[in-house]
Amino acid sequence: MVDKHNLTKQISILVICAILGFAICVQLKSVKIIRSQDTTIRGEELQKMLVAEKEKNSSLQDQIKQMQSTIENYRDSIEQTGSAYKGMENDLIRAENLAGLTDVYGSGIITTMSDAKANINSGPVENQIIHDSDVRSVVNELLAAGAEAISINDERVISTTAIRCVGPVILVNNTRSSTPFVIKAIGEPTALENALNLSGGIVSELRTWNIGVDIQKAERIDMSAYKGDVSFKHLTTVKKKQE
């Protein structure tokens, strides 16, 4: 995207340079006029013309210096603005990544959760199937371990993501998901894996009920951006007071 502010400044510099060129041409032309005057011009008149041209040349020199100074100021301003613009652009990219609004990739782990196999005597049936609370617990462990991006069955998890049971399925961002649940997490693979494999942790508890939990490290995980609505109807940003 073209920065209109910077473009305006660059155009201004071109205009000033054109004026400089014109001023120098006028100066040179004045000198040629004096040299081409008829030799019969009286010395007194020639002296007056020389004084006038010197004054004109001096004025032009002052204008040139002033314009050169203006050009330098514009150049410094453009460099500073460009640096500031780059900083704002980086902040925007970081904010979009944190908000889950961009496609991303990176190393991490892929956790696949599936209900216990049939005909296994592991107690009550409700303990052998995956609930929304189980999925939330795994996501929370990954976030606590430093996961930078998470998805559930390719639904990107963001700050407003809801994970809840609706009958036999689990809603993730209002999208129906069912077993197996594939939870992808981008972050330091070993740290994420160790967080899930803590003794007495969520994965250990699920496995006691024969619920399948498979954890695999991955050198590259591609994750799509959140595709839902992120507008706010009741939220207002608090503006900081200037000191």
The long-range contacts involving 10-14, CB below 8 angstroms and separated by at least 24 positions, are 10/78, 12/74, 13/71, 13/74, 13/75
- The better pLDDT of the pair 91, 165 is held by 165
Q: What share of the chain is helix, strand, coil (3-state, %, to 5)?
A: 50, 20, 30
Q: pLDDT exceeding 70 applies to what percent of the chain?
A: 60
pLDDT tens sequence across 88-103: 677 677 777 777 888 9
pLDDT higher than 80, residue 130: yes
Give residue 149's pLDDT. Answer: 95
Q: Which residues of 150-185 are buried (b: 16+ CB within 10 A; e: fewer)?
A: bbbbebbbbeebebeeeeeebbbbeeebebebbbbb
List the single range of 94-98, 151-155, 172-176 with lowest mean pLDDT. 94-98
Give residue 184's pLDDT. Answer: 97
pLDDT tens sequence across 185-230: 999 999 999 999 998 899 999 998 889 999 999 999 999 998 887 7
Under the banding of pLDDT at 50, 70 and 90, the label for residue 238 is confident
- The better pLDDT of the pair 124, 146 is held by 146
What global pTM score does this model have? 0.63
pLDDT higher than 60, residue 5: no
Estimate to the nearest angstrom the gap between the alpha carbon of 238 and the chain centroid: 22
Question: CA triplet 132, 219, 196: central angle to 5 degrees?
Answer: 35
Interval 78-95 mean pLDDT: 67
pLDDT higher than 90, residue 108: yes
The Cβ of residue 138 has, within 10 Å, a number of other Cβ atoms equal to 27
| Residues 163 and 87 sit within 8 Å (Cβ to Cβ) | no
- Report d(CA 151, CA 177) in Å as an integer: 12
pLDDT higher than 90, residue 19: no
Token duo for residue 42: 């009286």
Averaged pLDDT score across all residues of the chain: 77
Residue corresponding to tokens 């693979």: 189
Interval 70-96 mean pLDDT: 68
- The better pLDDT of the pair 35, 110 is held by 110
Residues in the chain: 243
Burial environment of residue 141 by CB neighbours within 10 A (0 to 12, 13 to 18, 19 or more): buried
Nearest CA to 182 among 220, 225, 144, 130? Answer: 130
Estimate to the nearest angstrom the gap between the alpha carbon of 216 and the chain centroid: 30
Give residue 154's pLDDT. Answer: 94
**91: number of CA atoms within 13 Å, CB side?**
6
